[in-house]
Amino acid sequence: VREREIVLGAEHADVALSRHNLGSLLRERGELEKARSLLDAAVEALEAAHGADDLRTANAFNSLALLHKDAGDLRAAHRLLLRAAKPRVRQLGMAHPDSAATLHCLAELARLQGDEQRALSIQRDLLTALREAGVTPSDELLAAAGASHPPAADAPKP
């Protein structure tokens, strides 16, 4: 990241993507404080360079949300996941893996916050979108939505 900052400048969008990647790796390794500073900087720079509706910015919002979830700050995680979900769903559709992962995480957060009805609603909407797109939902999603695999005769046709 430092070398890219020297060559491109600290606020360059490519440097922000490098910060995002390194911050995500550090989060996965459990180094939350180091990851937070990198992800905060990445979100700020990507939003300034590309806007809040850009998918690169949405990816950074999602990564920062996961960090806040890992740290136990569910309110911040929820706010950031909403910011990630809006452009993803609008541009990619609900059935796209990135959108589906964000929506599934929003449902998990609702469940952790004690709002089972909101969690079920999100999961069921996601399940419907996946089935309409001809995607076979995971067993985890089916269980979370209180559903089961449709019989073969009822399965969506490609």
How confident is the model at residue 67, as a pLDDT? Answer: 98
Q: Categorize the per-residue pLDDT at 21 as very low, low, confident or very high, splitting at 50, 70 and 90.
A: very high
Q: Categorize the per-residue pLDDT at 147 as very low, low, confident or very high, splitting at 50, 70 and 90.
A: low
Structural tokens at position 64: 């920062």
Instruction: Render pLDDT for 28-64 as a digit per residue (tens, 0 to 9).
Output: 999 999 999 999 999 999 999 999 999 999 999 999 9
Contact 76, 68 (CB under 8 A): yes
Q: How many CB atoms lie under 10 A from the CB of residue 48?
A: 12
Q: How large is the average pLDDT for residues 77-85?
A: 97
Q: How large is the average pLDDT for residues 142-157?
A: 46
Nearest to 86 by CA among 68, 98, 74: 98
DSSP notation for 51-75 = -TTSHHHHHHHHHHHHHHHHHT-HH
How confident is the model at residue 155, as a pLDDT? Answer: 33
Contact 108, 126 (CB under 8 A): no
- Decide: residue 116, CB within 10 A, 0-12 exposed, 13-18 middle, 19+ buried: exposed
How confident is the model at residue 108, as a pLDDT? Answer: 95
Please indicate whether residue 148 or residue 89 has the higher confidence score (pLDDT): 89
Instruction: Render pLDDT for 90-103 as a digit per residue (tens, 0 to 9).
Output: 999 999 999 999 99
Instruction: Render pLDDT for 102-138 as a digit per residue (tens, 0 to 9).
Output: 999 999 999 999 999 999 999 999 999 999 988 887 7
Nearest to 107 by CA among 65, 70, 157, 145: 145
Q: Is the dihedral of CA 133, 135, 119, 39 positive or negative?
A: negative
Tell me the whole-structure pTM to 2 decimals.
0.82
Please indicate whether residue 4 or residue 67 has the higher confidence score (pLDDT): 67
How confident is the model at residue 33, as a pLDDT? Answer: 96
